[in-house]
């Protein structure tokens, strides 16, 4: 697994790299936002440890730009920051971060969180399965997701890895109400350490890609007091 460390404090970066390489990960390091974007394009890492306060482009801007790029890999992003305010966590998750660690942190805890995120990739092996409803079709093995048009033609959906897995989870049980904890266990694993509201962020991103009107969803609906469910005629 390839990991990119984006941290301008060299002692912290070296400590993170030391602990991750002890666990068998391959690491590269840079100290500013512009270099992070360039290395992401060159390296295509599986995960990025991204400090919030870095030169040139801050971590939020780097995270947003990475999520906007079409790339063969959609890396997990673990945000680091010295700030602990609630607002910073919400902003970090809203730009596409998968988890959030506040400095000072235990290197062992950081390694555990990295493993928890990457385990999601290892846990979800290929399955020969196709989910189809009236308006959507997903092929798990081919990792393809399409909208079904009125003339029975397909229109590809440009989904990130997590958005694909979220839609596949919803389509595997149409009509089932999922709470946030269940979705986290399904997509991140039971050892997820982050904020449950990361689910809301990724549901909102998915709605923008599958709903005619994301503000009034037709397919991915909110179940008040529970969480979310997917409705479409099978």
Structure confidence by residue, pLDDT tens digits, 61-116: 999 888 887 666 778 899 998 766 665 666 666 677 888 888 888 999 899 889 88
Q: How many CA atoms lie within 13 A of 138 on its CB side?
A: 22
Verify cis geometry, omega within 30 degrees of 0, for the bond prior to 123: no
**Percent of the chain at pLDDT exceeding 70:** 88
Q: How far is CA 29 from the centre of its chain?
A: 21
Mark 34-58 as b/e (b = at least 16 C-beta within 10 Å): ebbbebbeebebbbbbbbbebeebb
pLDDT of residue 121: 56
Whole-structure pTM over 0.75, yes or no?
A: no
For the chain, the residue count is: 234
pLDDT of residue 125: 42
Lowest mean pLDDT among 82-91, 92-101, 140-149, 202-211: 82-91
Phi, psi of 23 (to 5 degrees): -90, 5
């Amino acid at each position: 697994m390839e990991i990119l460390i984006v941290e301008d404090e060299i002692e912290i970066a070296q400590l993170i790299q030391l602990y991750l390489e002890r666990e068998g990960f391959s690491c590269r390091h840079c100290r500013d936002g512009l270099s992070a974007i360039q290395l992401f394009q060159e390296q295509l890492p599986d995960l990025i440890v991204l400090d919030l306060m870095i030169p040139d482009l801050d971590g939020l801007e780097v995270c947003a730009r990475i999520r906007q790029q079409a790339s063969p890999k959609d890396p997990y992003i673990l945000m680091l920051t010295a700030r602990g305010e609630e607002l910073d966590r919400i902003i970090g998750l809203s730009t596409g971060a998968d988890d959030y660690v506040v400095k000072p942190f235990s290197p062992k805890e950081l390694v555990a969180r990295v493993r928890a995120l990457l385990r999601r990739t290892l846990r979800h092996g290929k399955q020969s399965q196709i989910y189809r409803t009236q308006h959507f079709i997903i092929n798990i093995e081919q990792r393809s997701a399409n909208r079904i048009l009125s003339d029975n033609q397909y229109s590809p959906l440009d989904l990130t890895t997590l958005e694909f897995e979220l839609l596949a989870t919803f389509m595997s049980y149409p009509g089932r109400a999922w709470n946030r904890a269940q979705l986290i266990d399904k997509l991140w694993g039971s050892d997820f350490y982050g904020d449950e509201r990361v689910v809301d962020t990724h549901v909102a991103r998915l709605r923008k890609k599958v709903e005619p009107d994301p503000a009034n969803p037709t397919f991915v609906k909110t179940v008040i007091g529970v969480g979310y469910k997917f409705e479409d005629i099978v």
